[in-house]
Structure 1
Amino acid sequence: MTTLSLQALNRATLDRQWLLERHDATALEAIEHLAGMQAQAPLAPYVGLWTRLKDFQPAELVKLLEDRQAVRGSLMRATIHLVSSRDFLAFRPLIQPRLDREIYQNITYGRHRLEGLDMDAVLQAGIDRMTESPATAVQLREHLAKLWPDREPAALAHAVRCLLPTIQIPPRGIWNKGGNPTMTTADLWLNSPITTKPSAEALVLRYLAAYGPATVADAQTWSGLTHLAEIFDRLDLRTYTTPDSNRPLYDLPDIPLPPEDTEPPTRFLPEYDNLLLSHADRTRFSPTPTPTSLPLQTLLTKGTILHNGYTKALWTQSKSKTQTTLQIAPTTKLSHQAWQSIESEAHNLLTFTNPNATHTITRTDT
């Protein structure tokens, strides 16, 4: 097996993630290449696409969502993802075991609150309500509470969200718009059921194309699934290793790796970007599990700045029609050259997010 240094692994994954250079591709092509984008923060994918594509404008993603070519729904790790509609139909049945665990092993909405229920009847009631019209969580809880008054409404609604192939419809996720999450099902929104014969092998190959080289544990972290080793064993894959790990890294056999000494540009990632969530071992982007003493969950609620391929700072933004302020909080000591590069890309980001406003960049401590 070829041994990859940490830097070689870093550059390889940045290349797969379209972060070594911006690509001349459509937003739909990017979303499918990435096998979906975390969309827990509804507008995060817009920045994620901007940082990966040439000339991306928000209207392109808005049109995909409004035309139902792309959707936001519960998928990998039981979190909200932006995917193409065809990928939602193909991925959802494969990810369903993780969503089942979200219901039957969840501490807040666990099995003790659902014991003795006719779950088929609960799901049918959810379908009936969403067939009338798309429903918010509150509306779904109110409908289910009337039918099962002795049960916790939030647990019933959560079961419907996870056990049915639910989609959050616009205006949620539309640029410069808001609104509570409003749900319907794939059948109703896309006029198509989920795939009846999904391919776990295809899912693993899609993962490696976007996040490889990677271990089995990495793929399980990304998807939230277990027992993927048997899927990897059935595939014809290239194998690598690293100096400090005995676990093999798998990859597609026909994808070349970029030179280890490739100089990556500074890139701004949105909150919860899948680049930082899709490996069990995140040291390929940070020499330590987190770039500071802050918990990972706290870090991910803010945007992340990559400099020279590694996490070096966090960013947040506040804006009005006339003023946008971008706050940058370094997580390690930055050289003058690094700060200049970060500040330059920060101005580009501000021009993208609020082109007609006055821009201000501030630097704070984490």
Structure 2
Amino acid sequence: MTTEAAGSMTTTPATAGPVLDRRSLNRALLARQLLLDRHELPVLDAIEHLTGMQAQAPTPPYIGLWSRLAGFEFGELARLLTEREVVRTVLMRGTLHLVSARDALALRPLTQVIMDRNLRTANGRDLSGLDLPAVEAAARELFTEPRTDKEMRALLAARFPGGEPELLNWAARTVIPLAQIPPRGIWGKSGLATHTTLETWLGRALDTEPSLERLVLRYLAAFGPATVQDVQHWSGLTGLGQVVERLAPRLVTFADENGRVLYDLPDAPRPDPGTPAPVRLVPDFDNLTLSHADRTRIVSEEHRKRLFTVNGIIRAAVLVDGFVHGMWKHEKKRGVATVRVELFEPVSENDRTALVDEAERLLAAAYPEAGSREVEFV
């Protein structure tokens, strides 16, 4: 049910609607990200509600789902991966995401323009003289079998003598929708990144009628209220203002404290800003902290600079009262499982105790075989 506290809203021009302050936006985001309460949802339904989870590293989606779902078992996500009900593939922002098979086929055609843009800029690579259609045709044939990067470099170099193997492989991976397949992505297992074509892995064709309108609506359901710039930041797509304009009759509008117009679904949750927000441990690369142009609804600019590294690593975040208050790491060495927490500012004794309890529960779920478990503050 939608609720809005009278004290949190003021009036702005009628075209924008009421003003939502930072805490109102925070609680709306947490509600839609399943972080105000742990939910009794099937894992597949949760992944689809979130429109996927960023998965640059293999393990963060497991932690992200554990933080959101009641009774989440790590083996369930591993099962979904091995049975091809979920898949790891490059989507929003040109980054690896964990999504349902259905969403992979629907979203990949929409995000190919990001890959095409990367190909045009070439990231400093010299593509002159590269017969891209020929490389794509050869790579599609080769990728019908699972291949590592090392294998693809060697196979493509044999097909295109004189070509730079690394460049050939990069170009192929840019133009062809691929799935990164198990055991990569399975909790507790390791292995080189191995790819095959998305359609081969899932046994189905890509969606021939993908919908940008549906993509924007799903973004709002998981991340709204939001600006056009927010949805473009999350997706990596441009020109979405026209899409939002077409959707406007189906949406409601608000404004943030800086006067920017926020769009939202009429019946989406917008909790009272005073709603309690429990302590949560959010994993590395979680879309919670990545999916808005203005991230102050979840992390201050000062704390963002500590959470986001210059080389593109997004550290795991500690949420206290709904906002980022620190970062954390987990590991298991020689039978000892450990969570190490670094707080950016002091928290109350109650919050510190809740944080220890949350970390201990996580270690028990993630490392049931560990001989001992420790929570350290550094």
Instruction: Please classify the TM superposition score into its range, dividing by the shorter chain length.
Output: over 0.9
CA distance in 1 between counterparts of 2:260 and 2:64 reads: 30
* Residue number among 312, 319, 322 corresponding to 1:309 in the alignment: 322
Q: Aligned partner of 1:327: which letter?
A: R
Specify the alignment match of 1:82 in structure 2.
98
The corresponding residue for 1:201 is 213
> In the alignment, which of 277, 295, 301 is matched to residue 282 of structure 1?
295
What is aligned with 1:326?
Answer: 339
Partner Cα separation in structure 2 for residue 337 and residue 120 of structure 1? 61
2:259 counterpart SS class = strand
72-81 or 95-104: which moved more?
Answer: 95-104
Tell me, yes or no, if structure 1 residue 42 matches structure 2 residue 55.
no
Match of 1:240 in 2: 254
| Partner in structure 1 of residue 128 of structure 2 | 115
What 5-or-longer segments of structure 2 have no aligned partner? 1-16
Q: Distance in 2 between matches of 1:19 and 1:299?
A: 25
Normalised by the size of structure 1, how large is the TM-score? 0.94
- Higher mean displacement: 15-24 or 138-147: 138-147
* TM-score, length-scaled by structure 2: 0.91
Assess, with a 3 A threshold, how the Cα gap between structure 1 residues 215 and 139 changes in structure 2: closer, same or farther: same
* Distance in 2 (alpha carbons) for counterparts of 1:83 and 1:294: 25
The one-letter amino acid paired with 1:162 is T
Quote the offset at 1:22 in angstroms. 0.6
Give, as a single letter, the amino acid of the residue that structure 2 aligns with 1:149: P
Q: Where does residue 65 of structure 1 map in the other structure?
A: 81
Q: Which amino acid aligns with 1:125?
A: A
- What SS does the corresponding residue of 2:297 show, helix, strand or coil? coil
CA–CA distance in 1 between the matches of 2:60 and 2:191?
15
Counterparts of 1:116-195 in structure 2, within 5 Å, are 116-131=129-144, 133-195=145-207
Q: 1:188 to 1:295 in 2, by over 3 A?
A: closer
Q: Which of 89-98 and 155-164 deviates more?
A: 155-164
Aligned to 2:10: none
> What is the identity percentage for the equivalent residue pairs of Structure 1 and Structure 2?
44
Which residue number in structure 2 is paired with residue 22 of structure 1? 38
Matched, 1:249 2:265: no
Deviation string, structure 1 residues 117-162 (Cα, Å, up to 9, x no partner): 221111111111122x200111111111122232221122112112
Aligned-partner SS, 1:51: helix
The residue that corresponds to 1:10 in the other structure is 26
Query: 1:334, 1:260 → 2: CA distance?
Result: 20
Specify the alignment match of 1:105 in structure 2: 121
Deviating runs (4+, > 6 A) in structure 1? none
What secondary structure, in the 3-state scheme, does the structure 2 residue paired with 1:23 have?
Answer: coil
Change in CA separation of 1:294 and 1:307 when aligned onto 2, cut-off 3 Å = closer
Q: Which residue of 2 aligns with 1:231?
A: 243
Equivalenced residue count is: 359
- Which structure has the higher relative contact order (CA within 8 Å, separation 6+)? 2
Displacement of 1:306: 0.5
| 1:283–1:289 CA contact under 8 A, matched in 2 | no
- Return the letter of the residue paired with 1:107: N
Supply the RMSD in Å over aligned alpha carbons. 1.6
In structure 1, list runs of 5 or more residues that go unmatched: none
Q: Is the CA contact (8 Å cut-off) linking 2:135 and 2:168 kept in structure 1?
A: yes
AA aligned to 1:166 is L
